[in-house]
Amino acid sequence: MALYNFTLTLSGVSYETEGLEDALYQNGCDDALICAYGNSVYVEFDREAQSLDAAIASAVDNIE
């Protein structure tokens, strides 16, 4: 499997959202870094998968 680096932008949350880090980690985002700029929250991933599409799809599933 290859390692893919990509960033997702979250909606409906802010960096101050209570429990955000714990919720993402518990849902399988242990390969992600949470970043904030202004009112936007981004999650940067380094994820192993068969393809970039599969990596992004699994990250979206983990976040939702």
SS3 per-residue string spanning 22-56: HHHHHCCCCCEEEEEECCEEEEEEEEEECCHHHHH
pLDDT of residue 6: 98
For residue 55, with 0-12 CB atoms within 10 Å meaning exposed, 13-18 middle and 19 or more buried, which class applies?
Answer: buried
State pLDDT tens for residues 4-50.
999 999 999 988 899 999 999 999 999 999 999 998 999 999 999 99
- Give the tokens for residue 54: 């599969």
- Fold classification of 2-63 (topology level): Ribosomal Protein S8; Chain: A, domain 1 (3.30.1370)
Report domain extents, the chain.
Answer: 2-63
In this prediction, residue 15 carries a pLDDT of: 87
